[in-house]
Amino acid sequence: MNQVPVIELQGICTSFRGFAVHQDLSLQVHAGQIVGLLGGSGSGKTTLLREILGLHRPDAGLVRLFGVDLNDPDVELQRQLRRRLGMLFQHGALFSALSVFDNIAFPLRELHCLDEDWIRRLVHLKLAMVGLGNGHGKLMPAELSGGMVKRVALARALALEPELLLLDEPTAGLDPDRSQNFVELIGDLQRELGLTVVMVTHDLNTLAGLASHVAVLADHRILAFGTRDEIMTVDHPFVTGFFGADRRKLL
C-alpha cells in the first residue's frame, strides 16, 4: 500500500469573492498516517476538508483520493470512492428524522446487498466500538448529549469501514475528560482498522494524543508537513505562536 498516496492535492487554488483562501497548495497523505491539520481561524481548514470530500470544487488544481481524480466523470467510480471514506462532521450531521440505529444502518442499507440480520449485527458492533449500548439505538438524535452525538456520528462514519476517515473538530465542545476518551477511542480504532485519518483541530491535547503527522496551513498554503517532532522545530510566527508555552507539554 505504499505506492499510491491516499490523498494527493496538487496546486489547489480557492478564493471566495476575490479573497484568496488557498494558493498553489499541495499535500500528500499516505496510508496509515494520522494527520492533524492546523491553522488559524479562517485559514481554510474546513474548506480544504470539503475539497478533499468533493463537496467544494477548487478554482484550480487536482484532488486525487486513492489515485482517482475527483473530477473523473465516471459516476460508478465516484460512488465506490465515496464508500472508501468516512466523514465526521463538526456537529454530527445525524439525520434527525432517523433513530440512532437507523442512522448507522443507513449507509449499510444503501448498499442494497446486505440482509437485515447482517446489518443488525454490524450496527451493534459499531455501537459497541464507540462505547454505546444496545439501548441507545432506539433514541432519536435530538435526545442525545453532545458527546453522544459525536460518538454516533463516528459510528456512522465507520459503518462502511472506510480506509480514510476525515474528522472536523472531533473534540470541540466536549469536556476534557470526554475529549480524552474520544481521542483514545479514535486511536484504538485507527490501530485496529488501519485507517488513514485527517483531522482539523484546534485542541493541542487532541493533536498530541492522536496525530502522527502535522500539516500547518498558513499563508494560503501548507507551510510545513512532517512528523510532530519535526513541526516543533519549524521557525514561523504562526507555529511558534500556536504551540507557544505548550510546546513542552506536547513533547
- Closer CB to other proteins, 117 or 235, in the complex: 117
Q: How far is it, in rounded angstroms, from Cα 133 to Cα 154?
A: 15
- Closer CB to other proteins, 159 or 214, in the complex: 159
Q: Which one among 135, 142, 177, 233 touches other proteins, defined by CB under 8 A? A: 142
From 158-166, 220-228, 229-237, 240-248, span contacting other proteins (CB under 8 A): 158-166
Examine residue 84 and tell whether it contacts other proteins (CB under 8 A): yes
* Distance of closest approach, residue 167 Cβ to other proteins, in angstroms: 20
From 113-121, 149-157, 228-236, 240-248, span contacting other proteins (CB under 8 A): 113-121
* Distance of closest approach, residue 36 Cβ to other proteins, in angstroms: 25
Chain position carrying cell 428524522: 97
Q: How far is it, in rounded angstroms, from Cα 211 to Cα 12?
A: 24
Q: Please give the C-alpha separations between residue 88 and each of 112, 121, 148, 172, in angstroms, as whole numbers.
A: 23, 22, 13, 12
Q: Which one among 62, 70, 139, 140 touches other proteins, defined by CB under 8 A? A: 140
Q: Which one among 56, 121, 247, 249 touches other proteins, defined by CB under 8 A? A: 121
Q: How far is it, in rounded angstroms, from Cα 185 to Cα 179?
A: 10
Q: Please give the C-alpha separations between residue 27 and each of 52, 141, 218, 246, in angstroms, as whole numbers.
A: 11, 36, 13, 26
Q: How far is it, in rounded angstroms, from Cα 150 to Cα 91?
A: 7
- Closer CB to other proteins, 163 or 203, in the complex: 163
Examine residue 117 and tell whether it contacts other proteins (CB under 8 A): yes
- Closer CB to other proteins, 53 or 208, in the complex: 53
Q: Please give the C-alpha separations between residue 86 and each of 20, 26, 158, in angstroms, as whole numbers.
A: 28, 22, 6
Examine residue 56 and tell whether it contacts other proteins (CB under 8 A): no
Residues 6+ apart with CB under 8 A from 146: 173, 174
- Closer CB to other proteins, 4 or 55, in the complex: 4
User: DSSP E strands: which ranges in the chain?
Assistant: 7-16, 19-29, 34-39, 60-65, 68-69, 85-88, 164-168, 196-200, 213-218, 221-227
Residues binding other proteins: number (CB under 8 A): 32
Examine residue 75 and tell whether it contacts other proteins (CB under 8 A): no
Query: What residues from 188 to 247 belong to the interface with other proteins (CB under 8 A)?
Result: 192-194
Specify the pairing of strand 7-16 against strand 19-29. Answer: antiparallel
- List of residues contacting other proteins (CB under 8 A): 66, 80, 83-84, 95-97, 101, 111, 113-114, 116-118, 120-122, 124-126, 128, 137-138, 140-142, 160-161, 163, 192-194
